[in-house]
Amino acid sequence: MDRVALRGLKARGHHGVFPKEREEGQTFIVDLVLGLDTRPAAVDDDLAKTVHYGIVAEEVVAVVEGEPVNLIETLAERIAQACLKHDGVQEVEVCVHKPDAPITVPFDDVTVTITRSRV
């Protein structure tokens, strides 16, 4: 299976279990790896035979900016399901970064990574 990756998609969302997170929001960063067969697109040099990663990026940002959820696990699942709606995408790995998570000790990042497939 071939891979198309989008790294560092940024959007502001209001996800989290604490009132401050819901009220003020924060930046979330999403990395995606889409699994699909790119051979038909490559042979015909045809965008319609692959995934349009620009549209996927816009849809992912819309999910992050959309309805708030408590957990980034839930956010990752919603993103994965949006990606799998695209014809040809057989598998997706989603990594959601929450670099401004409300943690009381120094840290660089918090991430949740999931893999989902049509099978």
What pTM, to 2 d.p., does this model score?
0.95
Element of type H or E holding 24: helix 19-24
Residue 106 has pLDDT above 90, yes or no: yes
What DSSP element (H or E) covers 115? strand 111-117
Confidence of residue 108 (pLDDT cuts 50, 70, 90): very high
- On whether the 2-117 domain is CATH 3.30.1130.10, my answer is yes
pLDDT at 54 over 80: yes
List of residues 6+ apart from 115 with CB closer than 8 A? 91, 92, 93, 94
Where exactly are the structural domains of the chain? 2-117
Share of the chain above pLDDT 90, in %: 98
Q: Which of 20, 49, 85, 98 is catalytic?
A: 98
pLDDT at residue 97, rounded to an integer = 98
**Does 49 have pLDDT greater than 80?**
yes
How sure is the predictor about 101, in pLDDT bands with cuts at 50, 70 and 90? very high
Q: Alpha-carbon distance 25 to 30, whole Å?
A: 16
Annotated active-site residue 98? The verdict is yes
pLDDT at 4 over 80: yes
Determine the average pLDDT of the residues in 107-117: 97
pLDDT for residue 119: 73
How do residues 27-48 score in pLDDT, each as one tens digit?
Answer: 999 999 999 999 999 999 999 9
